[in-house]
Each structure stands twice: as structure tokens, then as C-alpha cells.
Structure 1
Amino acid sequence: MATRLLEQEGFAALVLRLRAESITNKGLLNAVEETPRTLFAPAPYQKEALSSRIVPLDCGSFMEGFDFAVRTLHALGVKPGQRILEIGTGSGFTAAVMGRIAERVLSYERYKTLVINAQASLDKASIRNVIVRQADGSAGLVGEGTFDRILVTTAFDSLPRVFSDHLVSGGVLLVPIMVSETECRMVRLTRTGSRFDREDLFEAPYLPIVPKMAAFL
């Protein structure tokens, strides 16, 4: 009961903060409300996970702030019936929210520990259309076809063209890019036929992309 109340209070506070940014997408907010964020947070940080603060995870990773996670999903614009690719599963929370909306989500994570933890959290949340796979997502993917939306949660030094062939026309790629030595920004790439339109959006926390699967963690 205490955790449920914590979730309700945290969500209500989030909605008020997001309203100031004109983020009022009802479908997205319903999916967020239906996905208990505390299920995806390490036990000592469940309260912090409902704030805008970053929460540490295993393997040197982190759980993005609540506000940033929803702002990112709003910018991605996931819709029902879509096929989604995520590079960098982390806690599994963003994949879970996308799974509430989309038809299917495939999430790649290089750390086996994070894959196991995220899958356990997804099972607790009763989300069955998200597939979490330990894989190296830095160099693209083979045999997975195309996607309507691609979300990359780890930063590149420049725009990774390796994902462009995996986007359908009208598809969207969202990825953190280092735009200077000290600034990382979320960049949105929209494909229209063979053309790609770039938009630099908001500042993003810096977690660099690391190639290859982790050998031990």
C-alpha cells in the first residue's frame, strides 16, 4: 500500500511538472501511470526514481530521471501498432512504457546483469511484448528488419548512420549526440523516403556508447 501511494504521489507530481512543458499526451501518460516505476528501480532508490534525479544501476549504468524519461518518449512519439527498437535497455522502464503503447519492442543491452534485472521487472509488470536481448547494438543489427521508432539511450560522438536503414519511411530515430566537448543533446532524425530531417532537442545526460557485449557483467 505504501509503495502504491508513493507511485500515485510521484505520478501526480510528474504530471504537474510536465504540464509546464506542454506535455499532456494522454496515451503516453496513461502508459506511464500503468507502469510502476518503482518495479524498475533498485530497492534503496525507489523514492528517488519518482523524481527528476538520476538513479544508479549495476554495471556503471543509470536510470534516467522520471521527467527526462517521459520527455524522451514524448519526443519519440510512439503509437499503437508500431514496431520499436531500443538500444540500451538499462532498467527496462522506457521499454516497458513503450510496450504499453506499441505492438512490439525489441531492446538491446550489452550487460547480461541488466538484461536479467530488466526482464524480471517486465515480468512483474506483466508486460509480454517487450523482448530484451543481450547484444551489441552499437554497429546496427542483422536480420531484424525495419522499425517505426528507434530509441538509443547511450551517446554517440556523431549521428550514427548505421541505424538509418532500419527506419521505415516516416520513422523516427532519437539518439543522444555530443554536440560539443561538454554538451550532449537529444537529436531526432525523421526519415521521409530517402531524406532525413534532423532536429536538436533538449540536453541529455551523458552515458557513452560502448561497443561489443560485456564479457563478465
Structure 2
Amino acid sequence: MIDAAERKMRFLYALRSSGVTEARVLSAMEKIDRGAFIRGTFADKAYEDMPLPIACGQTISQPSVVGLMTQALELGSRDKVLEVGTGSGYQAAVLSQLCRRVYTIDRHRRLVREAEAVFRALDLSNITAMTADGSFGLPEQAPFDRILVTAAAEDPPGPLLAQLRIGGIMVLPVGQSGAVQTLLQVRKSEHGLDYNELRPVRFVPLVEGLAQE
């Protein structure tokens, strides 16, 4: 049986081995317990570097991908961040340690409710979670300093790019669902958009509209 200290050490080693090297990101991921976001059959695998199924046919990303996406945002402590695809809430919780405020949206009401309950239990007061169509972002709160999308679109959605401030960064997977996608870092400047391909990934598709549950 692995004790908690050994488990945490292995968890952080896996992150570093995958290229998550920024000290602030590692500290945030050490502080936020992934186990709090996983229930049922897969709870014993919470500290392994693998994606796991959650409710509504969605997944919680593997920790190394969460770390790499967080690192690619280059977060500042005063940043306002939009996350599209709340899922379990784990990614939003990590972001909450590194920026001023996180707005996270998901098309599944059930996932938003369950994530909010975990945020309250962990006393994460700088996260606002709501049910919304992620492909259209959250225009009433725009512009955002950073945007993170945890579902794959064939191209970066125009409404999200419009809600990113000049000088901002968006990180998202791009490509067809069911195939290997590319994780992109998009920088927005006065002169346009600069794209940086980070690594192959596999995410659930970004779907328009609200879900039934």
C-alpha cells in the first residue's frame, strides 16, 4: 500500500517527466487534490497520470495534460480566466490557485452542480461556474486575459477569440473528434493571432447547445 507522501511524490514526478516544470503550476497541482473530483469505481486511480470517465459521458483529463495546458496559459496572479468545459471541476480548481478569477462553463447542468459542490467543500471562492453553451463563451464577462478550452473544435471558435483581450492567450485542442488532435497556444496581438502547436492530445468534442442533464 502506497502512503500519501509517496503517492504525492510519484504524482509530481509524473508531471515533471511530462514537461510540467513551472514551479507555480506544480505547487497548485500539489495543493489541489485530484481525488476530490473523482467518485465511484475509478477513485483509486485518481493519482495516476491517466484520463478517467466522469458523469455525462465526459472525462477528467490526465494530470500531465492539465499541467501542460495550465503552464501554456502563462498565468498572472491578476488574470481573469474563462474555462470552457468544466467537467469534473479539477482544471478550474488548479487555475483558481494561479489567477484572480475563473469563470467556468459547461453544457451539462449536472457537472456544473457537482463541481460547484466540490469548490465549496475546498473553499475555492474565486470560481464562478455556470451552465452555458461553451462555443459562444461568456460575452457578458469579456474580455478575458486567458481562455482555456477542454474540448476539441475543428478550428478555434470565433466567439472565443473575440472575447480574448489583446495580449491574451488561449489554449485549446484543435482537430476532429475521434482522431488525434493538436494542442494549440494562441496569442492575440494588435497584428492578429499567433499559433503555437504544443503536442498531440485527445479530447471529447466541443458540442453546441445545452445538454439534457
Give the secondary-structure state (helix, strand or coil) at the position aligned to 1:102. coil
Please name the residue that 1:116 is paired with. Answer: 113
Distance, in Å, in 2 between the alignment partners of 1:9 and 1:71 is 22
Q: Is the 8 A contact 1:39 1:124 kept in 2?
A: no
Q: Is 2:152 the counterpart of 1:155?
A: yes
The number of equivalent residue pairs is 213
C-alpha distance in 2, partners of 1:135/1:61?
A: 16
Measured in 2, the distance between the counterparts of 1:69 and 1:15 equals 13
Q: Aligned partner of 2:13: which letter? A: L
Q: CA separation in 2, counterparts of 1:42 and 1:78?
A: 29
Structure 1 equivalent of residue 61 of structure 2: 64
State the partner residue of 2:34: 37
Counterparts in 2 of 1:1-217, with a 5 A limit?
5-6=3-4, 8-178=5-175, 182-215=179-212, 217=213
What one-letter code is carried by the residue in structure 2 that aligns with 1:67?
A: S
Report the more deviating stretch, 79-88 or 204-213: 204-213
- Per mean C-alpha deviation after superposition, the further-off stretch among 67-76 and 178-187 is 178-187
The answer to whether the Cα contact below 8 Å between 1:81 and 1:103 also exists between their aligned partners in 2 is: yes
Change (3 A) 1:181 1:69: closer
Structure 1 consecutive aligned stretches of length 4 or more whose deviation exceeds 6 Å: none
TM-score of the two chains, using structure 2 as the length reference = 0.92
Supply the AA of the counterpart residue of 2:96: G
Task: Verify the 8 A CA contact 1:49 1:65 in the aligned structure 2.
Answer: no
Shift of 1:23: 2.6
What amino acid does structure 1 have at the position aligned with 2:141? E
State the Cα RMSD in Å.
Answer: 2.0
Distance 2:113 2:203 in 1: 24
TM-superposed deviation, 1:181? 7.5
Segments of structure 2 that go 5 or more residues without pairing to the other structure are none
Task: Name the CA shift for 1:183/1:9 in 2 (closer, same or farther; >3 Å).
Answer: same
Moved more, 152-161 or 56-65: 152-161
Relative distance call for 1:195 and 1:37 in structure 2 (3 A) is same
TM-score, scaled relative to structure 1: 0.91
What is the distance in 2 between the residues matched to 1:122 and 1:98?
A: 12
In structure 1, list runs of 5 or more residues that go unmatched.
none
Structure 1 residues 98 and 180, CA, compared in 2 at 3 Å: closer, same or farther? Answer: closer
Moved more, 156-165 or 93-102: 156-165
